[in-house]
Structures are given as structure tokens and as C-alpha cells.
Amino acid sequence: MKLLIIEDEIELLIAISNYLIKENYLCELADNFASAREKLSTNAYDLILLDIGLPDGNGLELLTTIKEHQEKAGVIIVSAKNSSDDKIGGLDRGADDYMTKPFELAELNSRIKAILRRRRFEGNSVIKFHEMAIHTDNKLVSIHRKNIKLTKKEYDLLLFLLINKNRILTKETIAEHLWQDNIDMADNFDFIYTHLNNLRNKIKNAEGTDYIKTVYGMGYRFTDS
Amino acid sequence: MKFLTKINRSYFITLTIVLLISSVLGYLILHQVILNETKEALLGKVNLLKQQISEVGEIPNLYPEIEVKKIHRLDKLGATFKEIFIYNAEEDEMEPYLEYSAQEKIDDSFYSIQLRQSTFENEDLVVILALTMSLLLLSSFVILFVISWRINKTTWADFEQNLAEIENFDFNKKTTLHLMNSDIEEFDRLNRVLTKLTQKLKSDYISLREFAEDASHEIQTPLSIVRFTLDEILQLNPGEKIFEKVVVSINALKRLSALNENLLLLTKIENKQFKADHTISFTNLTNRKLEEFDAVLQMKKLTIETDFIEDFSVSMNQQLAERMFNNLFSNATHHNMENGTIKIQIKKNEFEICNSGSSNTLNNETIFNRFARGNSKSHGLGLAIVKNICNTHSLDIHYTKIDLHCFTIQRNKYK
């Protein structure tokens, strides 16, 4: 999978690309409008991460270039402004998603995967991990080829953990992903235990392995090691 | 009161006073003039009468106009004028006369002469005057009314149009203020001042808005860098002690960006940057959110009691409506106790959310202020945001405590 990351803050650009390289993506970088446009008109990408706040041009205008040259690519707009105008404008011009800074790398990963799944569903709509399979097009989860019944939140939780497998996720990160804007940062997020425990029990009842490991009581990791 | 009404009214009052005074004066002057004329006429008659008596020797008598008597000697000297009333049988009323009385010696004989002439009746005079004056008043008022109506149609029309333009002017819209020029210097001066003022205000407003957004933008980028770096450290699994410290730092950072975002939101609400383009049903919103927050309720062992008597729907911005509910609901769970309750009641034009909690009554005045913190973890902007959302959507919110802490949102009756 080939990604183009357009971001004018070098540190952010490096942090994001380091992370995505670890996730086995091929990353190309552009830190200004001109080089981004040049790259967009010569190479083909599967996904483009576009910061619209560029110093030498409005990133939203790059969407036109993307439409011309990158038919197959998914686009995630990244903006520091949580502006509904930018959001609607971007989505109208063909962007797939919109993220506001600061965001979590795990969240970014989960959104990238979701777009890639949607864009090319040939065989990619099923995420497998040992005996576990998540059928993302009909939101079904099976263990040892037997479907298990999950609530919407449990499904989202499992998908998020699996996509970010081997990563340590704090409970705040998980809560933010599951409840998004509905969550107040001052809240106590212990309530995700309820969902986690229900999920663990359902997996165990289906004779699956509990891959969800607790890290020092503050975070979780989905891993088989 | 409209400017023209005001002018018309003061003109009418002044005119009435002037006409009243001039009526009284006119009456007095006219009365005096008539009296003088009558006197002159009487004196003329006296001369004619004397001539007649001396030439013809005949004493004419014509009551009540002429009364001449022969007398033996002169009792008094000089002539006097007197205003008297004499009964007129024909008209059955007393009529005013001016009486001239004198004793004269004509050709060695003495005569007492009394001449009378009917003068104007006072009543008639008053009636005529009043009639003239009111006619004058009426006609001048009609003329004035026509003139002001015409001025209104022409000169004031521009002014009214400019006024409407100013009234509908909104800094959020991308239009500039367009004021019509008239041929009246004062109005044009006002227009120039207003145009200059709005331009200045608009540029200030925009730069303030941009400042708020740019500041938030600039803060979010370094925050992202710190967050990514901390996350990288976390992924290295650095051992419990460091892990704990990193998580604490990440969470503090999250609170900082939440605070930043909330401050920006407050500014945007106050600047009216959100359009109320949805009809929000509080019943639907509550049902949806309760499902969303089910885990929170379970974890805190809170009981929800709902009482939907009648739906309450408001024209609102979707994002803000959700935020308002979230903040109120977070508030009700935060300050609650284990096995506590949350009661939500919706009735016509009213939404109420109540929660059990501490026995202290909060201050209805200060509770909605920014940074009025309920506990150390919150940033104290939640209720300030709710209050601002209410203000911009013609809603009232107030806090009461009887048994439970209650927040009631009602439709503002005056809007």
C-alpha cells in the first residue's frame, strides 16, 4: 500500500510516517503545496493524507488534482481547525474522512484501514487473526467459523483493538474512538471495562483465546505473544 | 415615536397655543376697535342732532337710539360713554349698546341727550373668532400633514432603507454595508460615519475571530507532536513507572487540547458561527444519547428515570444540540454518587435533567460562569458552553435544587 503524506510540520510528518512505515505502508512525503502537487500528478497512491493548512496554498485545492490523477486513492483530510465549513467542503470535494488535530495514531490507523477496506473490498473486507475473523462488510465476527453475537460497541472495540494489534492503547484512546465527540475529557473512563469484560467473555464462551492483555492497569494490547 | 410624528405633534401643540393666545388678543383688539368706531359714530350723530335741534327746534326721539329731553339746568358737565344692555323683545334677549350721555345747552335751552348705538354681540364675536382660528388650525395641519407625508415618501425613504440595511447587517455574512446616498448633508454624514465604523468593526471582528482560530491551530500542532512522541515512548513498553508517567502526561495533554477546543467552541458560539438548521427533538436526542451512554450508567450504577410527557423540539444546530446534551449529561453523572439517579423530564417547551448528589445547593448565578469548577478534574467550561448555546437559541436555562440538582431548559417566552 502506497501512501502520500502531505504535512507542513516536519516533526509531525516524521512521526506519522515512522508510525505508518511500522504498519507496513510505503510512505512518500510532501511538506508543501508545490511538491505535493507534483507528486500527485506523477505517482499513483492508494491513500493520501492531506493537511489542508499548508503555508503555500490551500490544501483543499489539491483535492482537484487528486480527482484528476488519483482516481483510486482514498483521501483523509487533516486539519487543525475543527471547522464544519472545511469539513463539509472537503467531504463534498471527494475526501473520504476528516480528522482534527491532535489525533491519535491508533485512530489514524483505524481510519486508514477502514478507507482501504471500503475502496478495494476484494477479499480485504475480512480481517483474520488466528481463529478470529471480522467480516467488516456485514459487521459479523466469527470464532472457529462460528458467528458470535456482539453489540455495536463491542464490535467497534474488537475491530479497533485488532487493527491496532501489538500496540498499547490507553483506555482514554479506546473511549475516544468509541464515543468520539460524545466524551468529555474530564470523565472517568473506567466504564470501558464493562465493554471489555463482556467482549472477553463472549470470546471465551466461543472457545476463543483472550488476546486482550491489560498493561499495568492503564492500557490494553491485543497480541498473541 | 417616529421623528415625523414627533415634529407634527410639537408643531400642533405650538400652533394651538399660538392660536389660543392670538384669539384672546384678537378678541380684545377687535372689541376695542368696534367700541372706538361706535364712539366716533355716536359723536358724529351728536353733532347732527345738535344742528337739527338748533335749526329746526324739534326734539327728535327714537327709543332706544335717540332720547332727548329738555331740562331746566345743567346738572353735570361733560359727556360720558357707557356700555349697557337693553332688552330686545323681538329677539327675547339682552343686546349690547354703547350709550352716550351728555347735557348740552343749545340756543339758551338745556337738553339731556342720550344716544345709543347697538354694538357687536360679544358672543357672535367669540364664535366668529373661534371658527376662524380652528379653520386656520385645521388647514395648516392638513397642509403640514401632506408636506410631511411627501417628505416621508421621498427624503425619509432613503433613510428608512438605510436603517433597514443596518438592522439586517450581520458581521458573519460576507456582505458589506451598502448605504444609499441622499441629497441631505446630515444623512450623508451619518452614512459616512456608519460605513467607516462598520468597516472598522468588521475588520476587528474578523481579525479577532481569526486570532482565536489561528491561536488554537498553532496550539494543536505542537500538542500533536508531543502526543505522538509520548505515544512512541509508550509503545516501547518502558516499564511500569515510566509507563504510568507517560499515561498521566498524555491525559494531561488531552485535557489541554479539550480545553483549547472548548474555548474555541465558546468563541464560535458567541460569534454566532453556527447555523440553527435542524429541528431537534429532545425526546429523540435523549433516547439516542441514553443508548450511547449506557456503559457509563452501568459502570456508575446509576438509575435513569425518564418522563416524556410531550415532545419539545427546537430549531438548533445539530452539533451544538449534541454538545449541550453531552455536557448536561456528563455533569449529571460526574457529580452523582454510586447507586444514584438521573431523572429526565420532557414536557411542552421544557427539558429538565436532575441528578442526585451532594446536599449543597449550588449558586444559580455563578454556576454557569467560565471556569466555575465543580471538581478539580473538570475544566469548568461545560455549563458555560451549555449556557451560551441556550442564549444563542432563545432558550433559558436555570438551576434549582429541592431534592435533586436540576437543570431546566425552557423556551424563552420573550423571543
- CATH at A93: 3.40.50.2300
B255 grid coordinates: 485535557
Chain B residues in contact with A168 (beta carbon < 8 A): 234-235, 237
Full-model pTM? 0.66
Closest to B247 (Cβ–Cβ): which among A19, A83, A170? A170
CA distance A155 to B364: 42
Residue spans of alpha helices (H) in A43-191: 62-69, 84-92, 105-119, 152-163, 171-179
Flag the least confident range among A196-200, B30-34, B172-176. B172-176
- Judgement on whether residues A95 and A28 belong to the same structural domain of the protein: yes
Mean pLDDT across the stretch A204-215? 92
- Quote the distance between the C-alpha of residue B307 and its chain's center: 42
pLDDT in tens, B301-335: 889 999 999 999 999 998 899 999 999 998 898 88
Contact criterion met (CB < 8 Å) for A187 and B330: yes
* Interface touch A215/B237, C-beta < 8 Å: yes
Residues A10 and A77 occupy one common structural domain? yes
B322/A181 Cβ within 8 A:
yes
Domain that holds residue A45: 2-119
Q: What is the DSSP string of A3-26?
A: EEEE-S-HHHHHHHHHHHHHTT-E
The average pLDDT across A164-189 equals 81
* Interchain proximity B221–A168, CB inside 8 Å: no
pLDDT at A184 over 80: no
B145-178 tens-digit pLDDT: 888 788 777 777 888 888 888 888 877 676 777 8
Peptide bond before residue B64 is cis, with ω within 30 degrees of 0: yes
CB–CB contact B326 A182 (8 Å): yes
Tell whether A7 and A112 lie within a shared domain: yes
pLDDT of residue B47: 87
Question: How confident is the model over B230-247, as pLDDT tens digits?
Answer: 998 998 888 999 999 999
- Do A25 and A7 lie in one domain? The reply is yes
Report the number of distinct structural domains present in chain A: 2
Q: Are residues A202 and A136 in the same domain?
A: yes
Q: What is the per-residue pLDDT for B280?
A: 93
Residue of B nearest to A170 (CA): B247
CA angle B374, B376, A180 (to 5 degrees): 85
Cβ–Cβ contact B254 with A under 8 A: yes
Residue A98 has pLDDT above 90, yes or no: yes
Q: What is the pLDDT of residue A25?
A: 92
Give the CATH number of the domain where residue A150 resides: 1.10.10.10
Confidence at residue B396, expressed as pLDDT on a 0 to 100 scale: 92
User: Considering only CB atoms, which chain B residues are within 8 Å of A81?
Assistant: 213, 216-217
- Per-residue confidence (pLDDT) for residue B132, from 0 to 100: 85
Cis peptide before B96 (omega within 30 of 0): no
Please give the interface size between A and B, counted as residue pairs whose CB atoms are below 8 Å apart. 114
Alpha-carbon gap, residue B387 to B381, rounded angstroms: 10
- Residue A70's SS3 state is coil
Average pLDDT, chain B: 85
Please indicate if any CB of chain A lies within 8 Å of the CB of B319.
Answer: yes
Q: Answer yes or no: do A50 and A13 share one domain.
A: yes
Task: Say yes or no to pLDDT of A212 above 60.
Answer: yes
Q: What is the pLDDT of residue A131?
A: 92
**Hey, which CATH number is domain B278-411, 3.40.630.30, 3.40.50.920, 3.30.565.10, 3.40.50.2300?**
3.30.565.10
Same domain, A182 and A104: no
Question: What pLDDT is recorded for position A123?
Answer: 52
pLDDT score of B220: 86
Contact between A168 and B244 using a beta-carbon 8 Å cutoff? no
Predicted pLDDT at B133 = 80
The CATH number, out of the four listed (3.40.50, 1.10.3470, 2.20.110, 1.10.287), of the domain defined by the range B186-270:
1.10.287
Q: Decide: helix, strand or coil at residue A210.
A: coil
Rg (alpha carbons) of chain B, rounded to whole number:
47
**By three-state DSSP, how is residue A202 classified?**
helix
| Candidates B213, B227, B228, partner chain A, best to mutate (most A CBs within 10 A) | B228
B217 touches chain A (CB under 8 A): yes
Grid coordinates given for B401? 435544587
Q: Where are the domains of chain B?
A: 3-126, 186-270, 278-411
Does residue B179 register a pLDDT over 70? Answer: yes
A15, A181, A191: residue with CB nearest B296: A191
More confidently predicted of A112 and B378:
A112
CB of B277 within 8 Å of any CB in chain A?
no
Q: What is the spatial distance between Cα A52 and Cα A8, in angstroms, rounded to a whole number?
A: 9
User: Does the beta carbon of B225 lie under 8 angstroms from any beta carbon of chain A?
Assistant: yes
Say yes or no: A93 and A149 in one domain. no
- Beta A47-51 vs A2-6: how paired, if at all? parallel
